[in-house]
């Protein structure tokens, strides 16, 4: 696709594939490594790239997440800028040592002599009818780990701009696209840049600050629209980057509204929402509530899967309790 300044309608997956294409065109050091990347990836997020750049830059691998991540770390230390495909975050657990003990710590342990400019793509969240081993939201694990950048895009535009920013970052980035957003479409402007660590304010209001990320942002937007009809104006913030997260935007909003609701699809217990809540409480003293999934595995049956979902109705109810 030729570079254009006019927005082009594309899906979340197409926007990501285009981002990788542009970075590969701009920098011969960018390579892709992982299972099924040659045929475009299981979600189409690498569609057409091996045909364009060849199998020495878009590299298919055996089914071994530890080997894939380890190879990616080695490539990065040798001067390449690898995009490491983990298929889904659930499978990435098999490559945790290479990511957590090697990629995340190298810059610190060796006094900055080595850098690991690696992007680990690991789609997260509930995958419809895919059960407990394929539906996890583990972003808090990675945000807890010093040395890692953590990104969770919610829209095609953000997926394009943030993936390019992640590939240009000099440190390891855990890039968590949502498994259920690949078909989401909107106009994408290639010229838009978004720095890592910058949140987006999607709605303005004074009654309540509502913070979320990833697919859950869409449920929050639905809840905000319903609350607006009841005269409750919400300040809705899409965090976009979990580490480093945009404290300035969130705390400014909390200072104005004096109420904060943090919503995430991940299990509520020890979720990243607790970090935001504690920081806001210490800085502003505002009223705070969290809303996340119960601490249960995601069920396969639809009626069980629904118990792990945090929908717009639950978000609206939690917001009304804070405002009352």
Q: DSSP 3-state assignment of 32?
A: strand
What own/partner pairs with CB < 8 Å and gap ≥ 24 does 215-220 have? 215/125, 215/154, 215/178, 215/180, 215/181, 215/265, 216/263, 216/264, 216/265, 216/310, 217/154, 218/154, 219/263, 219/310, 219/311, 219/312, 219/315, 220/263, 220/312, 220/315
Mention every residue, 6+ apart, whose C-beta is less than 8 A from residue 230: none
Q: Are 15 and 47 in contact (CB under 8 A)?
A: no
Residues in Cβ contact with 179 at an 8 Å cutoff, skipping those fewer than 6 apart: 43, 88, 123, 124, 125, 126, 127, 130, 135
Q: Is residue 134 among the annotated active site residues?
A: yes
> Looking at the chain, how many residues does it have?
324
Contact (Cβ atoms closer than 8 angstroms) between residue 169 and residue 144: no
> How far apart, in whole angstroms, are the C-alpha atoms of residue 253 and residue 280?
10
d(CA 273, CA 153): 16
> Which of 134, 160, 178, 264 is labelled catalytic?
134
Q: How far apart are CA 128 and CA 304, in angstroms?
A: 11
Which of 198, 210, 107 is closest to 151 using CA atoms?
198
Q: Tell me how far CA of residue 147 lies from CA of 92, 142, 199, 306, in angstroms.
A: 17, 9, 20, 35
Q: Are 116 and 76 in contact (CB under 8 A)?
A: yes
Judge contact between 271 and 264, C-beta under 8 A.
yes
Q: Which residues are known to be catalytic? A: 134
């Amino acid at each position: 696709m030729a570079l254009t300044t006019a927005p082009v309608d594309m899906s979340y997956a197409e926007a990501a594939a285009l981002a990788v294409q542009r970075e590969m065109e701009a920098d011969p050091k960018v390579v892709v490594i992982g299972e099924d990347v040659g045929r475009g990836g299981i979600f189409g997020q690498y569609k057409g790239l091996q045909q364009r750049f060849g199998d020495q830059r878009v590299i298919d691998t055996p089914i071994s997440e530890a080997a894939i991540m380890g190879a990616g770390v080695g490539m990065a230390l040798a001067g390449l800028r690898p995009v490491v495909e983990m298929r889904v975050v659930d499978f990435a657990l098999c490559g945790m040592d290479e990511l957590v003990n090697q990629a995340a710590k190298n810059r610190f342990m060796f006094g900055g002599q080595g850098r690991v400019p690696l992007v680990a793509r690991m789609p997260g969240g509930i995958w419809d009818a895919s059960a407990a081993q394929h539906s996890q939201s583990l972003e808090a694990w990675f945000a807890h780990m010093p040395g890692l950048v953590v990104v969770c895009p919610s829209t095609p535009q953000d997926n394009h701009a943030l993936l390019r920013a992640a590939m240009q970052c000099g440190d390891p980035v855990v890039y968590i696209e949502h498994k259920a957003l690949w078909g989401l479409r909107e106009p994408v402007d290639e010229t838009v840049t978004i720095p890592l660590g910058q949140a987006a304010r999607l709605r303005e209001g004074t009654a309540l600050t509502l913070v979320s990320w990833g697919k859950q942002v869409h449920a929050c937007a639905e809840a905000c629209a319903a609350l607006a009809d009841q005269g409750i104006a919400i300040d809705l913030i899409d965090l976009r980057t979990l580490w480093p997260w945009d404290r300035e935007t969130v705390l400014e909003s909390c200072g104005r509204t004096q109420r904060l609701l943090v919503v995430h699809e991940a299990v509520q217990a020890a979720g990243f929402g607790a970090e935001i809540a504690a920081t806001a409480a210490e800085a502003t003293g505002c009223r705070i509530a969290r809303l996340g999934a119960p601490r249960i595995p995601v069920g396969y049956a639809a009626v069980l899967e629904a118990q792990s979902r945090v929908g717009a109705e639950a978000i609206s109810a939690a917001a009304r309790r804070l405002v009352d």
